[in-house]
A and B are shown apart, each in its own frame.
Chain A
Amino acid sequence: MGEEQATESVGRNGVGSLGVAAELAGEAALARIQKPEPVEGRGPVVRQRDDGKHVPGEPGVWIFILGDMSIFAVLFGVYIVGRGDAPALFESQQQLLNQNFGALNTILLLVSSLLVYSGVNAIRKQDLRAPLLFIAAIVCGLGFVVVKYFEYSQKIDHGLTPALNDFWMYYFVLTGLHLFHLLLGLGVLTLITLNARRAKPGSTRFALIEGGACFWHMVDFLWIILFPLLYLVGE
């Protein structure tokens, strides 16, 4: 902690006022008073792998991402079983979905993922335009929410509600849970945008940004499965 805080406070010193620097120095001193013992932990967060390969973010973030995807895997399994119980019903109800909404949202998310990828690369090159790329990705994500809003309200206007039958129950629960993750993802992207300029490659801050970017890619990936599963799968 000590070393990184020191380098970061120097970094901020360049842009910020002297007062901020003094405050930071005070904070660091306070931290030293409260934790005086030589720290013997598991070591710093970002570590180089021996074989020279790089895990995006930090290894821990993958527990979260793979764990979260496994919940969706259970949900997809439950959906497939439910569909197997009433194939005719699901087939007929599926016809009522508007594939254009789904396709448009797929494109929006794919573009946003590409923008996030470019943004992380821009940080790696210390390109100051990185925040703009993340803001563009957020706009795509908001576009997804707007499309979803129109899609939901159209369905509800036609009387297609979760209570109608199993297909609409699954439709609203699956897309709703995905939307919840997407909204969390927008929060994550906002945090990334705010931290993009201060992140140095190899720092903890950069690892957190990479981890957040991976979360956004997961939201995108889940939609790529959800879209064909709900809108396209036939027979």
Chain B
Amino acid sequence: MLNTKAQMRMAWMGPAAIFVFMIALWPLAGFLPPISPNDSAEEIVNIYRDNTDGIRVGMFLATVAAAMMGPFYATITTQMKRIEGRFSVYAYTQLGLGMLAILLVVIPSYIMQGIAYRPDRDIDPEVIRLINDVAWLPFVGAFVTVSLQNIMIALAIFQDTEQRVFPRWLGYFNIWTALAFCPAAIEFFFTTGPFAWNGIFVFWLALSFFGVWFFVMFFSLKKAIAEQAIEEAALEADAAAAVAAKG
């Protein structure tokens, strides 16, 4: 019983993380809509100069939010292990990739902190634009770990032919989201239009898909944990009854 309560607590870290991330990105850093790759170097320097403290606080909170996703991914792992048992290669791969995904938010955040650290640098604005590119390309487009993580979840669910932990459709759902993130790979080829990093087909689609994926996973997790609690309570009751019958 204690174990399922701990899992439920860790699962709730997920929505908290999303909340903190939205606060960081939207009102604080002002990155919704994101900085455009089509902006001139001077415009980009001005963005960091005008909202220096907002970006500093916002990007720090982004790292906090990213770290808070750790417990959420670990809860997914725990439920996957209910399917896989002790030798759980999918669960471990999922966990490792989830933790890497955290790093892929933390590193770009720190690169942006680097620009905001001395906003009045007397250097060529093109250099600032380059560093801004280095931060934004992975910030938006580092989907590979997430895609593979989703596939791991799907593979584990497909093993569970009795659908004890997760419903089967959740496996197909994860395959879908894994594929839905892939178009983000075209961001490297365009600095403007729907396929640039701030375009509808990269930033907005990835953001909405991550949101949908997250909440579907969260509610499925909550359900699976609640069912585990009931299952364990029944087992305990059985054990108690057996002891009583013996005595």
Q: Do A and B assemble together?
A: yes
Using a CB–CB cutoff of 8 Å, the interface residues on chain A facing chain B are 1, 4, 34-35, 37, 39-45, 58-64, 67-68, 71, 74-75, 78, 82, 162-163, 166, 169, 173, 176-177, 180, 184, 204
Minimum C-beta distance from A14 to chain B (A): 23
Say whether B163 contacts A42, CB under 8 Å. Answer: yes
Given known contacts A162-B189, A180-B182, is B167 in contact with A42 (CB within 8 Å)? yes
User: With a CB–CB cut-off of 8 A, which chain B residues contact A184?
Assistant: 179
A166 / chain B contacts, CB cutoff of 8 Å: 193
B172 touches A64 (CB 8 A): yes
> Inside 8 A of B201's CB, which chain A residues have their CB?
74-75, 78
A163, B201: Cα distance in complex, Å: 17
Find A64's partner among B161, B176, B189 (CB 8 Å cutoff): B176
Q: Are B195 and A4 in contact (CB under 8 A)?
A: no
Bound complex: CA A45 to CA B159 (Å) = 11
Evaluate contact between A1 and B180: CB separation under 8 angstroms.
no
Report which B residues bind A (CB closer than 8 A): 85-86, 160-165, 167-173, 175-176, 179-180, 182-183, 186, 189-190, 193-195, 200-201, 205, 231, 235
Contacting residues, chain B, for A75 (C-beta < 8 A) = 183, 201
The CA of A78 and the CA of B165, in the complex, are separated in Å by 39
- Complex Cα distance, B179 from A68, in Å, reads 8
What are 22 contact pairs spanning A and B, CB under 8 A? A1-B161, A37-B231, A41-B162, A42-B162, A42-B168, A43-B162, A44-B162, A45-B163, A60-B169, A60-B170, A61-B172, A67-B173, A67-B180, A68-B179, A71-B180, A74-B201, A78-B201, A166-B193, A169-B195, A173-B195, A180-B182, A184-B179
CB-based contact B193/A1 at 8 Å = no
Cβ of B169 and Cβ of A63 under 8 Å apart?
yes
Q: In the complex, what residues of A have CB within 8 A of residue B160's CB? A: 41
Check if A173 sits within 8 Å of B205, measured CB to CB. Answer: no
Provide the bound-state CA to CA distance between A130 and B17, in Å.
50
A43 near B163: Cβ-Cβ < 8 Å: yes
A-B residue pairs, 10 tightest by C-beta: A60-B169, A41-B164, A41-B162, A42-B163, A64-B172, A60-B172, A67-B176, A41-B163, A64-B176, A34-B85
Q: Which listed residue, A1, A41, A58, A64, touches B173 by the CB 8 Å rule?
A: A64
Is the beta-carbon distance between A39 and B176 smaller than 8 angstroms?
no
CA distance A59 to B173 in the complex (A): 11
The complex places the Cα of A68 from the Cα of B205 at a distance, in Å, of 12
Closest to A71 in B: B180
The 8 Å CB contact of B235, one of A1, A37, A67, is A37
Q: A64-B175, A169-B193 are in contact. Are A45 and B161 (CB under 8 A)?
A: yes
A63 touches B172 (CB 8 A): yes
Contacts of B189 in A (CB 8 A): 162-163
Cβ-defined contact, A39 with B162, below 8 A: yes
Write the chain A residue with the least CB distance to B182.
A180
Q: A40-B164, A42-B163 are in contact. List 8 more A-B contacts (CB 8 A).
A: A58-B168, A60-B171, A64-B175, A68-B179, A71-B180, A74-B200, A75-B183, A180-B182
Q: Which residues of B contact A176 (CB under 8 A)?
A: 186
CA separation between A35 and B169, bound complex, in Å? 22
Is B86 in contact with A71, judged by CB distance below 8 angstroms? Answer: no
Separation in Å of the A43 CB from the closest CB of chain B? 7
Specify which chain B residues have a CB less than 8 angstroms from the CB of A34 in the assembled complex. Answer: 85-86
Complex Cα gap A180–B181 (Å): 13
How far, in whole Å, are A82 and B235 apart by their CA atoms in the complex? Answer: 61
Q: Which residue of B lies closest to A180 (CB)?
A: B182
In angstroms, how far is the closest chain B Cβ from the Cβ of A44?
A: 7
Q: Which residue of A lies closest to B189 (CB)?
A: A162
